[in-house]
Structure 1
């Protein structure tokens, strides 16, 4: 074969390969259950915010990977002082925000000063109270000084609550988010969709996707039809009750894994009659977790405390209050409620909450507790229940990773005030040694289980349904959000 023929064939092959590559889809239409109330993850508690923007539009100093490990992000490296109370971060060069403004150490300082300000509305502000000061060394170097050692410091600054924002745009991020991420915000059609497009000036490895559209689809039947019709290419967490439709369909793949979502019967510990331990214990004995898990089609994992079962420090406390209706009735009588009482159960939109609410109402009726079920949309739930603490009972999945520290905050919405837990948590926060951290966190797990602070139901699974030609989706969800950076079409 002559050199000319070889070159011609190679050129033809290159053209064909290039044409095939260009023919590959580069857009993703993603169905999600909840519409976010806003798009600023540093100023809201809803997981729906992070699902759209975390690690996609906004980035943090470090990245949290699928296995929960921490890797470089906007900071390319860091050093820790010998006493563990000072972290010095070296930032990546040439990073800009989507509006063209530059990113530097001043933006890092602004972000954390904003989180810690007296008027801060950051949902996880307590996690960052360990920070004593943030000091700009030079434009690409920033130092954090801590009040004490904190074994979760690096993890916490990688969360959505600590993404880096700019002073020029921070106030408008709720409606027009501007970050440094691989995708930039295009539009938000409220009640319908959010559109993101590739950031052509991205400082890091660009995504395979050029456009991502989030469609808000609140019920499983509509989500099913959208998948089958090709109106969406996938969803990160599909209703388990309909998974069978896709199990033997070669056009789809089901990706199942775990989440950080502890699903609880959240109880207002500051409101009668739930201030009584025996009342809470009675409710715990009246909960049949097997029935609840069956209602999630077997994908949920029963829990007896507020901690993820896949975590190495988890303690199985499901036997603390076994299902026992006679014991539950006796405890109610001892608490002064032999005939039971009436209460409200406010339920947010997710199917796991509405379905579990019906089951628990039926279970509680057998011991004389009459529940009025109140279905709520997400925004009113956040305002009334989470914000104003105006509720008796509710069902919600707490999806924040390693969030057992909420039980040390008496101002948190379920109002649990236990000085012993607060002291243990303070010690835990200042402990780096893994074995000692395990002992402390298991002690807290045991106390809150025995106190029946909330009804501990099951760990929420992640059950994604995706077009079979998509790859790179995260199987597990160690953090809130849907990380898009590895998703790509395979042909």
Structure 2
């Protein structure tokens, strides 16, 4: 077999010398330019001297070997390899490199149930509607729409000239396919909310479709912000969580998927994207998982990454003093809680649940370990219009907590509580993805110990934790965060048959109100019912409601025009820019 054309060139001395003369300046300076991004001068100097010495020595050695024809191919391969590395440096320099505590569970937006998956898929996929920078609904893949007089039929026209990342045309068939997939039980979604809203979807033309609703909808667009899937990638006509598409997606968004290797995912700008890219638009997006928050901060400080999605409170002063990093505060509709397994006899006693709540000084815990935020009294963030501000959060009351536990039959022996020979012992199962919150967890353990409750902590790999909590339901208590978007409902969480009611909570009054609110179209009645639900759940304590936080993102100053969406973090990433250092 003849050698490749590049290697044939290497057999000629003149072309080879030309390669060296062209390549040497890039070999000597390319990586150095890359290292200068936000690095201290002494570090650059040390790296420069070492790198220059070795690369120059290597090139000189290679040039001397050109007298030996057998070495020519090896020389050429070395040059090509190093050239590839340098081109990779150039791509990385003009891309957004951000970090997460762990990698996403999927790249299929229909199954994106964790925020890691939601964030990365935001750059790959798009919906019929999105949001402008004032958080108002705005068209995305749709261009116009018309609602019938009875508010039960909607005709939508789609944007023309939109391509999938594999070059296929985006059409109304893709939208209808996605809607049918979200309604179908075969798709096995945890929340089939569209099944309660849409009766049918039909294709009118290549770029038009019609939706028929099950009830009158005053603001139907808010239900149509889901991401669209390419129908041609699912030849069997149905979507499954385990399909290869979940690891190698194809969308219409500003960035196309390149590869997923271990803890690293690379996206590259889609050159045929329907929005015209600006001169300094990002060339790509690189996700690098770094579980340790402390290491995340150091890597950003020395220029290894561009973006930390959520900065620890203890690291805020570090970046406030930096000229190379900017902090972006953003509010979310997320809230923290301790989930109690109501299948356990211990937690069926409301007195025990309330005692545990009264034992916690949530303000002190949050301020000491997490930073700015608000202690909550129920299952909503204070940023949510459904939050009932007439319901006040409980304050720590150790005396009342001990009295409630005593009424429940628990007696103190040697600092801990017992009921006969049985000790009041709780197994708190946590995901290792939350290891950076260990000081907060230790604070919870210490505060519960003050009322005689012993807590044992078990840290599990995230996949094992999910299986233990959501599938096997083999736990006493766990720490979790719910992230709400504009469509999220507490129905799956607290209805006795809710798809996310993993704690096994049952309350007939809650079931009745949740069923009633699902049928109403009156916004006043809607808010009133949720206000009642807030009060009931505050009193009954299915969870130990904790807090909602004010988040801060740290982003290198080279990234400009940054706007962060409170739920779909990278929703505006098509307009982000990355400039050269001034």
TM-score, normalization: structure 2?
0.75
User: Which residue number corresponds to residue 4 of structure 1?
Assistant: none
After the TM superposition, which of the residue ranges 209-218 and 65-74 deviates more from structure 2?
A: 65-74
The question of 1:177 aligning with 2:260 is answered no
Q: Which residue of 2 aligns with 1:100?
A: 167
Corresponding residue SS for 1:97: coil
For the 8 Å contact 2:109–2:118, the answer to whether it is kept is yes
Aligned-partner SS, 2:233 = coil
Deviations 1:437-456 (A, max 9, x none): 32222122111111111111
Q: Are residue 284 (structure 1) and residue 357 (structure 2) matched?
A: yes
The correspondence of residues 14-33 of structure 1 with structure 2, limited to 5 A, is: 26-33=94-101
User: What is residue 22 of structure 2 aligned with on the other side?
Assistant: none
The equivalent residue for 2:181 is: 114
SS at match of 2:473: coil
The answer to whether the 8 A contact 1:407-1:421 is kept is: no
Instruction: Confirm or deny: 8 A CA contact 1:80 1:87 kept in the other structure.
Output: yes
Task: Report the alpha carbon displacement of residue 197 of structure 1 after superposing the two structures with TM.
Answer: 0.4
Q: CA deviation at 1:483?
A: 4.5
Structure 2 equivalent of residue 364 of structure 1: 448
Counterpart contact for 1:257–1:475, Cα < 8 Å: yes
What count of residue pairs does the alignment treat as equivalent?
Answer: 466
Q: Is 2:210 aligned against 1:143?
A: yes
Match of 2:32 in 1: none
Cα deviation 1:245-286 (Å, max 9, x = unaligned): 111111111111211211111222233211222221111111
Supply the distance in 2 between the matched residues of 1:91 and 1:271 (Cα, whole angstroms). Answer: 52
Between Structure 1 and Structure 2, the one with more helix by share is 2
Q: Which of 29, 35, 41 is the equivalent residue of 2:103?
A: 35
Which residue of 64, 72, 75 maps to 2:142? 75
**CA deviation after TM superposition for structure 1 residue 299, in Å:** 1.5
Corresponding residue of 2:553: 464
Conserved in 2, the CA contact under 8 Å of 1:397 and 1:460?
no
Structure 2 unaligned regions, length at least 5: 1-89, 412-416, 419-423
Is contact 1:252-1:468 (8 Å) kept? yes
Q: Residue in 1 aligned with 2:528?
A: 439
Partner residue of 1:420 out of 498, 509, 524:
509
Provide the C-alpha distance between the structure 2 equivalents of 1:438 and 1:182, rounded to a whole number of angstroms: 37
- Checking the alignment, whether the CA contact within 8 Å between 1:97 and 1:178 is kept in structure 2 is yes
Q: For residues 260 and 428 of structure 1, do their structure 2 counterparts lie closer, same or farther at Cα, with a shift above 3 Å needed?
A: same
1:415 aligned counterpart, secondary structure: coil
- Decide whether the 8 Å contact of 2:565 with 2:571 is kept in 1: no
If asked which structure has higher relative contact order (CA below 8 Å, sep 6+), I would say 1
Question: How many Å apart are 1:336 and its aligned residue?
Answer: 3.3
- Whether the 8 Å CA contact 2:199–2:214 is kept in 1: the answer is yes
Residue of structure 2 equivalent to 1:203: 274
Q: Which moved more, 1:343-352 or 1:366-375?
A: 343-352
TM-score normalized by the length of structure 1: 0.88
Residue aligned with 1:395, SS? strand
- What is the deviation of 1:337? 3.3
1:375 matched to 2:440: no
Segment of structure 1 superposing worse, 75-84 or 64-73: 64-73
Q: State the 1:423 CA deviation.
A: 3.0
Q: Is the 8 A contact 2:91 2:284 kept in 1?
A: no
Find the structure with the greater CA-based Rg: 2
The partner residue of 1:60 within 113, 124, 127 is 127
Cα RMSD for the two superposed structures = 2.5
Identify if the C-alpha distance between structure 1 residues 200 and 394 changes in structure 2 by more than 3 Å, giving closer, same or farther: same
How far did 1:144 drift? 2.0
Residue pair 1:64, 1:155 contacting (<8 A) in 2 also: no
Query: How far apart, CA to CA, are the structure 2 residues paired with 1:454 and 1:351?
Result: 21
Query: Aligned partners of 2:229 and 2:134: how far apart in 1?
Result: 23
